[in-house]
Amino acid sequence: MTSSHARLDWSEFSQVAPAANAALMEVGKAIRASGLDRDLTELAQLRASQINGCTFCTQFHLNHLRQLSVSQIKLDLLAAWRDAEVFSDREKAALEWTEMLTALDHEGVPDSAYQAVSAHFSQSELAYLTAAVGMINAWNRISIAFRFPPPPSTLEPKTAAQ
């Protein structure tokens, strides 16, 4: 069985690999500045983090989505988004694209998947969405390799009286 102790936390990673951390942070800034809907990119990054089993990034993006006031029902149903009617066609296209890029097989991404997502996104939007998925997959691998402990949840625990 694998030990679950942290090898590094995110702040230590940023200190021992400042250029790598800074480069990934700059990609994040470019994605946020692109005009692509932040809720959408955060949902895509959360979904990739769920698929990859990255505890740190899953909690990190849940926190961001809560700060953006994304509905709890979307957060609850994200793992089953295909059958959940709370997601728009655009969100579903982004989540399908995210899953394709996160769980790549040896044949890559089929033209049909590209055509489907292209119906909902401009070339620029799709480029930034793809960068967001690529970036979170990189962060997931770094976080999993070093076993970053998750950040505190922004969800307030309810007391028995509530």
pLDDT tens digit sequence for 118-143: 999 999 999 999 999 999 999 999 99
- Give the residue ranges of the chain where pLDDT is below 70: 1-3, 156-162
Longest Cα separation, the chain: 54
The size of the chain, in residues, is 162
What is the DSSP secondary structure assignment for residue 152, as one 8-state letter? P
Instruction: Report how many domains make up the chain.
Output: 1
Token pair, residue 86, equals 């709370």
160 part of a folded domain: no
In the prediction, which pLDDT does 3 show?
A: 56
Domain with 106, as residue range(s), is 18-146
CATH number of the domain enclosing 36:
1.20.1290.10
125 part of a folded domain: yes
66 part of a folded domain: yes
| Closest CA relative to residue 10, chosen from 20, 66, 1, 2 | 20
pTM exceeds 0.75 for this model? yes
Amino acid (one-letter) located at 124: S
In the prediction, which pLDDT does 6 show?
A: 83
